[in-house]
Structure 1
Amino acid sequence: MSEYRLLYLSYTGMTESLGQSQVLSYQKRIAKNNSVHLFSFERRSVTNQLKNEIDDKGIQWTPFKSANNKFLRCLTLVYFALFSLFYIKKNKIDIIHCRSFFMALVGLFCSIFTNVRFVYDIRGFWVHELVENNRLKNKYIKKILLHLQGYLLKKADQIVTLTESSVPYLEMFSKSKILGKVTVIPTCVDLERFNVDLENCRSRIKISYVGNTQERYQFDKVLYVMDSLKKLNKNIELEIVTQDINAATEALTNNNYDPQDFKVFSLDFSEMPKYLHSVTAAVFFMNETLTTKAMAPTKFGEFLACGVYPIVNDNGSDVPRIVRENHVGFVIDPIKIDIEQLYENILSSQTNEIKNRSFNVAKKYFDVEVGSRRLNQIYESFKAEY
């Protein structure tokens, strides 16, 4: 018999790599002993194969089609909230886990009319990110959203955040004492899929950039460092793995880099473990802003798990702290960099001892088994209430 009945709301789709790694990886473990229901918004077509895979994990999945314009999104959100409310009542749901701001609005609405326990999984400082990226200019809407953000934090029964660096700001946003209900669970990695291949000897140096090339990252500085390494050793392979292929190639052109020096392509999530086994080091520089303190890039844990040494900047987030404390990468200033020293450090990092250390750090901080247990502890804490 199930211990509890959980409804998980995700604006990220399960057809996306992020949904597969940061929703399904956790919930398939929760579903082994509990009743898990999942609602998600899908931007891509849902295949029968994916439906069957999720069903085989014991998860009852209801995909919703993501709307293309703001008006339809608003109507869809209203319908979604009402559908969720009736679903909760019909299926006697005990807990609603809401991944991100808009899903939390739905969770708050449902908690008002039912006895469901409300978990707010913040996934970052979304409202502040809109302001930083100049996508929220109306001061009245900004004020409303900031008030809602604080109210959601205050009213949530439990809060999940990605980083230790973000925790001090949560009480400031909510203007209330909430730290007792905050749990830090970073973006975790399935170590059965992402792990060190000690038998794979990397015969050539490959420097890689993986992921989004805009907004949160200083991609122009990444290109500068990669190009500087190439000038030291023309045999170094430079690769950019991204879904933003046009944006990446445009950035290369705008910064006057030779596109022939960089290989730009995309990969499916299923292809990433094998690819990372061929990579020597990975570069990513996050913006030095408030919102990046709440960021825990999925790729960081994947790099460590595969023995890929990360080259990062000191932006005040958890990433450079973990690198420094555990000696598993390089924290550099992209402007004042000693490129020859960095090159020597990369060469010296290619030992089995260092790769094993890197994997153990991934296991310590980013193991999805540990993350799933922390989630389950949150859910279990409500048992006395239902």
Structure 2
Amino acid sequence: MKLSINGENKKVIYLSYTGMLEPLGASQVLNYLKGLASEYSFWLLSLEKLEDLENVDAVEALKRELKDKNISWYPLPYLAGGKNYLKNFQQLYSLTQKYIDEEQISYLHCRSYMPATIAWLLKKRGKKINYLFDTRGFWFDEKADVGEWKKSGLSYKLAKVIEKTLYNNAIAIVMLSQKSVDLINDGSLFKGSEKLKNVYFIPTCTDLERFSPAFNKVNKPIKIGYIGTAIGWYNFEKTAELLQLIKKEVHYELEIYNGGQHQFIKETLLKYGFEDNEYSLKKVGFNEIPEKMRQLDLSVFFIHPFFSKNASAATKFGELMASGVPILTNKNVGDHQYFVEHYGTGKILDINKLNTYNYTKIIMDLKSSIVVSNCRKLADDVFSLYKGVGSYSKLYKEFFE
């Protein structure tokens, strides 16, 4: 049944700092909007990397595809570098204001902090709008955790005042982990956050039709995989140490799928005793990842366990679970530990005590059809795109009325 005003779908502006031509935008924005577009008409405004916009055919093809699904997409050029932050902000702000006025749109879905700031400013300046704040994490605390800001400094303190304002003025708030909801509810995010009553948990979801298990794999030796970025929040140094320790006990093939840090990966692995001929390091396309992933027996990754990472959910976590691939990872990152231990889909390791584990036993215990089924059940229960769309639909019907 369509929700409508005067026979038309309700209108929503969706603001994204992430580009739709990037894999993350395709999986974590477009998949949701396509599921919601039968009931809502979307004006999708996003910042796109200049090199992506140069592929005019791809841009126009995506515009046509989305238009057919009731989504009008307006890509804006993302200008790299901190000095261009205000320019990116201004062009997104101006276009948002334009469509609020021209199309008389009252509802904004804001993916991350910059879009939410735009919505709050427009609201403060008299626009009759309500915005859903889809946070994607504790962004200001991320900046402090990586050392960009000092928690005792003015920038961080001002940012936390802005954060409190964005949360308090949002009609609803979406978090990626239940752990982050709990931290908000106990007042750990900012003073007074425990008073918020409109905070909801929706994880990064996975298209279970694209990602599926390969049962009865017979990989001899077993295949261990590392997928995605190796820098930033990811601690590849500790991952290399883990792989070295496993190598001492278990014969395995190492498959690494990474876009742009090959030299860093090679140098780090060499430091831990891996020659180039002992692993495969490739860049693979978005459409190739599901098949590559499902052929793995095990995947490994570590994320720096900062406070801000309690609000994170690695996209590849859900994809690996949907593919039936157990993981070795660390605690204090979103809900990873709870899901791994509750469903039996891997092993949580102490990154400071990696030399204390029996990896032969761990891998033997994880290499079973039962564990593959556990992974898929977790994906079905928690990370299903269908359920994610349903969760957003429920919020839209409750708040975008």
What TM bracket, shorter-length normalisation?
A: over 0.9
Match of 1:128 among 96, 118, 141: 141
Which secondary structure does the structure 2 equivalent of 1:5 belong to? strand
Q: Secondary structure at the match of 1:51?
A: helix
Secondary structure of 2:133's counterpart equals strand
Q: Would the alpha carbon gap of residues 28 and 63 (structure 1) be closer, same or farther in structure 2, given more than 3 Å must change? A: same
Is the deviation greater in 4-13 or in 198-207?
198-207
Verify the 8 A CA contact 1:307 1:356 in the aligned structure 2. yes
- Cross-structure match for 1:169: 183
The yes-or-no answer on 1:143 pairing with 2:192 is no
The secondary structure found in structure 2 opposite 1:45 is helix
Q: Structure 1 length as normaliser, TM-score?
A: 0.92
Between the aligned partners of 1:183 and 1:376, the Cα distance in structure 2 is: 13
Q: Does 1:365 align with 2:382?
A: yes
CA displacement 1:67-86 (0-9 Å, x = unmatched): 12333331231232122112
Structure 2: distance between partners of 1:383 and 1:370? 19
Unaligned runs of 5+ in 2: 1-6
Superposed displacement of residue 119, structure 1: 0.8
1:75 corresponds to 2:87? yes
Q: How far apart are the structure 1 equivalents of 2:221 and 2:21?
A: 34
- Shift of residue 335, structure 1, vs aligned partner: 3.7
The whole-number CA distance in structure 2 between the counterparts of 1:328 and 1:233 is 20
2:175–2:202 contact (8 Å) kept in structure 1: yes
Unaligned runs of at least 5 residues, structure 1: none
* Equivalent residue for 1:207, pick from 209, 221, 224: 224
Q: 1:180, 1:318 → 2: CA distance?
A: 21
Question: Take 1:127 and 1:247, find their aligned partners in 2: how far apart are those partners?
Answer: 27
1:252 and 1:87 mapped to 2: Cα distance?
50
1:321, CA displacement in angstroms?
A: 1.0
TM-score normalized by the length of structure 2: 0.89
Q: CA deviation at 1:262?
A: 2.7
Deviation, structure 1 residue 152: 0.7
Q: Are 1:21 and 2:22 counterparts?
A: no
Corresponding residue of 2:52:
45
Question: What is the distance in 2 between the residues matched to 1:24 and 1:8?
Answer: 11
User: Aligned partners of 2:195 and 2:133: how far apart in 1?
Assistant: 12
The CA distance in 2 between the partners of 1:383 and 1:70, in whole Å, is 34
Paired residue for 2:36? Answer: 30
Cα pair 1:185 1:374 within 8 Å, conserved: yes
Aligned residues: 383
Cα pair 1:14 1:20 within 8 Å, conserved: yes
Partner of residue 10, structure 1: 16
Change (3 A) 1:4 1:178: farther
Alpha-carbon distance in structure 2 between the residues aligned to 1:247 and 1:266: 14
Name the aligned partner's letter for residue 359 of structure 2: L
The verdict on how the C-alpha distance between 1:197 and 1:55 changes in structure 2, with shifts beyond 3 A counting, is farther
Identity across aligned pairs (percent)?
A: 28
Q: CA deviation at 1:286?
A: 1.7
The 3-state SS of whatever aligns with 2:197 is helix
Structure-1 residue corresponding to 2:4? none
Matched, 1:159 2:165: no
Please give the alpha-carbon distance, in whole angstroms, between the structure 2 residues aligned to 1:25 and 1:272: 17
Confirm or deny: 8 A CA contact 1:280 1:346 kept in the other structure: no
Check conservation: 1:30, 1:36, Cα contact below 8 A.
no
Pair 1:60 & 2:72 matched: yes
Alignment partner for residue 210 of structure 2, among 173, 177, 193?
A: 193
Distance 1:226 1:268 in 2: 25
What secondary structure, in the 3-state scheme, does the structure 2 residue paired with 1:37 have? Answer: strand
1:351 alignment counterpart:
368
Aligned twin of 1:242: 258
8 Å CA contact 2:326, 2:346 repeated in 1: yes
What is the RMSD computed on CA atoms of the aligned residues?
2.1
Partner SS, residue 179 of structure 2: coil
Given that residues 244 and 273 in structure 2 are in contact (C-alpha distance below 8 angstroms), is that contact kept between their aligned partners in structure 1?
Answer: no
CA shift digits 1:214-262 (9 cap, x unpaired): 231221111111122223234x111222222233223224555433323
- Residue 382 of structure 1 and its aligned partner are, at CA, apart by 2.4
Within 5 A, what are the aligned runs for 1:321-336?
321-336=338-353
The DSSP-based 3-state class of the residue aligned with 1:85 is helix
Which sits farther off after the overlay, 57-66 or 239-248?
239-248
Q: Does 1:306 align with 2:323?
A: yes
Amino acid paired to 2:72: Q
Change (3 A) 1:346 1:55: farther
After superposition, where does 1:216-365 map in structure 2 within 5 Å? 216-234=233-251, 236-243=252-259, 244-255=261-272, 257-315=274-332, 317-337=334-354, 341-365=358-382
Question: 1:203 deviation in Å?
Answer: 4.2
* Counterpart Cα distance in 2 of 1:67 and 1:31: 29
List structure 1 segments (4+ residues) > 6 angstroms apart after TM superposition: none
Question: Greater CA deviation, 13-22 or 134-143?
Answer: 134-143
User: Whole-Å Cα distance in 2 between the matches of residues 2 and 310 of structure 1?
Assistant: 46
